[in-house]
Structure 1
């Protein structure tokens, strides 16, 4: 969504720039040119017009995030004749309206972008703090080693006494900066997702697929319906430490390919059984077999699961 907003901003401000340039300059009436007219000495050309060729080349061009940001910055400068690289909230709402996005969609994208930026800042600070700690560890212990060599290392090797415990602390620091921060971030995302489900969105529910790889891993994710398509977004992680996890994956199944929706209500959890029209419908979902996927819904999300199943069967 954030990338789409950047592209929309670039297109919008290029339109504004062209409109302003036309307003500033004198309009020049184009010279009429008939289709069969040619200049003296030129042969008639029946090939594809150059405009269509250039249009095809433009359609094939792609842009990276950095290029899109630079395009927006230059477009803003050309519109206002000043070096500004920001877009106001009202301008972004206008851009989104032109592209069929509601204010709620844009607000949701703003919140996601803000959370992503905060997470990146925390990870960056954690890396910097660890690097400072590691550099301090290296410098001081090298100094202690040199001092031990000067005082006679053949008599007493004493520099290892601070080296070993401090090294253990440095290892714990690395584990915390590498895994614990990601775990806290994932927990915050899961809490936000649970709150969204609990507030009664009938097109959304969270789920778990336990007992994968001999109870060594499980998959957690969210199921939602969009444009008559069931989307299952999940990631697989180990159940021992919770530190090893896969990249997020999405499986999309058209609602017309789902033949059976069944809720098995239990005391502590609810199982949502989905059977596809063909065997390959849910093959990419962990733990699926025989064209059937079983999603385990926690007790606190039981009502959300019932609403979700009701929408699937409509």
Structure 2
């Protein structure tokens, strides 16, 4: 288990070895640059992040497959980190229910120091490995779950301790860091070490490192949901229409998937209680709303499979009952 009380001199020296803590030699006189030069410099630094993410594509692939396999049998995805890294996890988790129609408990974000730390720095919260373990224990972590630790340095005790505990109960684990050979990655089943190099502002890992983390988490959650049948083509067919904008998007999604006009799409959505998937199935196959709902359930929500199966099971007008 990671040490809750590291020797500060040793920590200072170890941080000096991390690429994310190095001084960016391209900008030694950053404060002397013009505003336009600063804008160009930051943009130039950010341009390399995508290539760094691409370099760990195989590891991201392995992580998605591990997460999707656990989630398909009822597991959860839990992000855990401190500071900016923890906030990235919470952001991704909070966007999953409206995008993919998931239960809020399916993808969870935990941050060192608890909810207060989302808005305000909580001093020393990241230094406790046992706190990471305790936060996972409080969720009743089990072997069907997946835990993704996030830490730019890759050595944050809170995140490392969480992954060590997660591994001990048989959960799938992945570590997202921005330093090669990170302690976080070594504690994980899959190490996703995205090496973005020194920040333009020395040690400010909310910049390139934060961008890299956001890109990786986008992939982990989105591709997992694609694998679980939450999309049809590149359409969000499990979205929750909870406001006017989303209701309009749901109607447009049905129109795009079926070539139906707005009136037909709206009627199908009304008939299926707002289910985009069921509305598409009704308009595509001609089966009744009840038949569509039952057929989707029989195919675990995979719309493409349900469409392919509908003519064989029901004809185009029969009910499945």
Q: TM-score normalised to the size of structure 1?
A: 0.21
Q: Which has the higher strand share?
A: 1
Bigger RCO (CA 8 Å, 6+ sep): 2
Q: TM-score normalised to the size of structure 2?
A: 0.20
**Structure exhibiting the larger radius of gyration computed from Cα positions:** 1
